[in-house]
Structure 1
């Protein structure tokens, strides 16, 4: 865990922008608005790219947890899902709610979104959830998704749903930061990894750095088995 430049609570709140249960519904609202504005092709392309990106993230995590495929030198145990999701969605939402279209505005809004998500990726490092290599990999993959999704014009009509999207975003963000919280994908990833190898054990970051060749019983693994 690195020394934070801002209060811990700030990073804990910011990191929620990468929580699937928060950011995917926001993306769905924007995709719905795009479809209503005649941008069904854009919405389908974006979500297809999101699914592909999520599949890559899941594959790297399962490969490590189930079979120990990682890098001790890079401190890499799997791509950061929070970093990828935030970066694949937030820049596109910024462009869509900013009026879409072409030209300087789209470039500026995309850059703003990418910079916000760079902070989300950094929050994963501050919170000790991921290493630098994992956070950077997540940001890079997400940026590729976002840039590919916005190659063509984003429907300008989406901004009509701006108030709804912003309200939903704030509500979900507050929910994510409350004591209620939102569902975590970690336990499902761990369960899937254990099922795939037919044993109730997983590889952990500690095992990677210790050079261990045996997985750890799942009930003894940390809450985030990548820790």
Structure 2
């Protein structure tokens, strides 16, 4: 497949896009008192903590596995699987399950883009995707279409996320992590 396509798919898993979009959607959900968004905030926090801990363990302490190759959960895979299903369920209030499944498929494509770009192993993207999918499933469990009665929230969330991606284009979250752990950026 074309490297440009892999890069474009990978961009859909960028934390500079997904985290502001998720924060916007969570804020709107909290203000409205909608329970899936409240559960989602806890699940997304757990995903973030697991991804960060696994990366710090490897980069800071050298803890990782050689077989299977695992140096940390893929953040792109984990956050894509945690965010896109909820975001697309919100965008399709009449059929939130279809939106959620579409989000999981999109997240799987984002995850699949990482090994060809030589950024993560298949073990790292599969485990990251599963971690994120669990958080999304937990957030969406028991949700009914009425929980997703404001599809414009998804538009607002994507607008905020897209704006942050553009504004923060030169900020590299991985570089910040390398600096925190005392590694020189490449």
Same fold (TM over 0.5): yes
For Structure 1 versus Structure 2, the TM-score category normalised by the shorter chain is 0.7 to 0.9
Q: What are the equivalent positions in structure 2 for 1:1-227 lying under 5 Å apart? A: 5=1, 7-39=2-34, 41-99=35-93, 105-153=95-143, 155-168=147-160, 171=163, 175=166, 181-194=169-182, 218-219=183-184, 223=186
Deviations 1:125-163 (A, max 9, x none): 111110110111110100001000101326223313344
Q: 145-154 or 160-169: which moved more? A: 160-169
Contact 2:91 2:99 in 1 (8 A): no
Give, in whole Å, the separation in 2 of the partners of 1:124 and 1:186: 14
Contact 2:79 2:132 in 1 (8 A): yes
Give 1:168 deviation, angstroms: 4.1
Give 1:166 deviation, angstroms: 4.4
Aligned residue for 1:22, secondary structure, equals: helix
Give 1:36 deviation, angstroms: 4.2
Aligned residue for 1:32, secondary structure, equals: helix
Unaligned runs of 5+ in 2: none
Give 1:92 deviation, angstroms: 0.5
Q: If you compute each CA radius of gyration, which structure gives the higher value, 1 or 2?
A: 1
Equivalent residue number for residue 210 of structure 1:
none
- TM-score for both structures, normalised by structure 2: 0.87
Give, in whole Å, the separation in 1 of the partners of 2:120 and 2:55: 12
Aligned residue for 2:12, secondary structure, equals: helix
Equivalent residue number for residue 209 of structure 1:
none
Give 1:110 deviation, angstroms: 1.6
